[in-house]
Homo-oligomer: A and B are copies of this chain.
Amino acid sequence: MSSHAFDTALKLRALDQGRFAGTIGAAYWNMVGPYGGTTAASVLKAILMHPDVLGTPLSITVNYAGALAQGPFEVQLHAARTNRSTQHWTAAIVQNDAQGQPVITTTATAITAVRRETWSLSDVPMPPVARPAEVPPMRVAKAMAWLDNYELRPITGLIPQSWDGRQHDHSLSQLWMRDQPARALDFCSLLALADIFYPRVWLKRASRVPVGTVSMTAYFHAGEPELQATGTGYLLGQVRGQEFRNGFFDHSAQLWNEAGSLLCTSHQIVYYKE
A interface list, Cβ under 8 A from B? 58-59, 61, 63, 65-66, 80-81, 83, 86, 88, 90, 92, 103-105, 107-109, 111, 113, 115-124, 167, 170-171, 200, 204-205, 214-215, 217, 219, 221, 223, 240-248, 250, 252, 254, 262, 265, 267, 269, 271-274
Contact = CB atoms under 8 A, between A and B. Distances in A.
B115 A247 contact: yes
Given A66-B83, A123-B170, A265-B267, 12 more contacts: A58-B269, A59-B214, A80-B107, A81-B104, A81-B107, A109-B109, A113-B247, A115-B247, A119-B274, A123-B243, A123-B244, A124-B243
A250 B219 contact: yes
A200 B272 CA distance: 33
Give 7 nearest A-B pairs by CB, closest first: A65-B81, A61-B61, A65-B88, A221-B243, A115-B246, A221-B245, A243-B262
A156 to B, nearest CB: 15
Copies of the polypeptide in the assembly = 2
A101 to B, nearest CB: 13
A242 B254 contact: yes
Contacts of A86: 65, 214, 271
B81 A119 contact: no
A86 B104 CA distance: 14
